[in-house]
A = this chain, B = another copy of it.
Amino acid sequence: MKALQEKILREGRLIGTEIVKVDSFLNHRIDTRFADEMGEEIARLFAAERPNKILTVEASGIAIACSAARAFGYLPVVFAKKSRPSTMVDGSYAAEARSFTKGTVSVLVVAKDFLSPSDRVLIVDDFLATGEAGLAMCSLAEQAGATVCGFCAAISKNYQGGAARIAQKGIRVESLADIARIENGQIIFTE
């Protein structure tokens, strides 16, 4: 998605040599009009997969997941939580995800009520790098017996292996902008 590449180049900031910070429009401040444009692109890419539910993880995935859900004609969104709330009393699916930048392991949790074997789940997230969170979400859907009909990240760094790990499960993986490498402080996209 050319507009996303341009926005990353214009507004993104490099932290060190690996982290691209896009909190001016995606992770902290949300450009809601642009989120809807990304949602429309996601719906276009995955229209043929006919998802009936969008799965994401709190917090930065929620806005773009809701935009995609709207573009599909208002699908429900389920967001996995990073800890089990005290009110989640009726059973849940859980899967671990390591964070390489933070050096922590978090457990993603979804209440059993909100994923079922009849679901065709499209997983949407803001970032895809090593694929830890993505694989954890795949696991949550699989535990429920749901079909994962696709995975879409706004921004990916496929060279970090996450896209391949998810694709290995037979899941179609797309991103709206794939960073091929960061070179001398420049972001180079996959064309």
* A binding-site residues for B, Cβ under 8 Å: 15, 19, 21, 23-24, 28-33, 35-36, 58-59, 62-63, 66-67, 69-70, 74-79, 81, 86-89, 101-102, 110-111, 113-114
Q: A101–B88 Cα gap in the complex (Å)?
A: 13
If the complex has contacts A29-B78, A32-B75, A32-B77, are A23 and B63 also in contact, measured as CB distance less than 8 A?
Answer: no
A28 touches B70 (CB 8 A): no
Known: A28-B110, A32-B70, A36-B74. 18 other contacts (CB 8 A): A15-B87, A23-B88, A24-B113, A28-B78, A28-B79, A29-B77, A30-B79, A32-B66, A32-B69, A32-B75, A36-B70, A58-B58, A58-B59, A59-B59, A62-B62, A62-B63, A63-B63, A63-B66
Q: A58–B79 Cα gap in the complex (Å)?
A: 12
Q: A35–B67 Cα gap in the complex (Å)?
A: 11
List the B side residues contacting A79 at CB < 8 Å: 28, 30, 59
If the complex has contacts A59-B59, A59-B62, A76-B31, are A87 and B19 also in contact, measured as CB distance less than 8 A?
Answer: yes
Q: A114–B21 Cα gap in the complex (Å)?
A: 14
Minimum Cβ distance to chain B for residue A29 (Å): 5
B28 touches A76 (CB 8 A): no
Q: List 7 A-B contacts (CB under 8 A).
A: A24-B113, A28-B79, A30-B66, A62-B66, A66-B66, A66-B67, A86-B101
List the B side residues contacting A31 at CB < 8 Å: 76
Q: A63–B186 Cα gap in the complex (Å)?
A: 33
List the B side residues contacting A77 at CB < 8 Å: 29-30, 32, 63
List the B side residues contacting A19 at CB < 8 Å: 87
Residue of B nearest to A78 (CB): B29
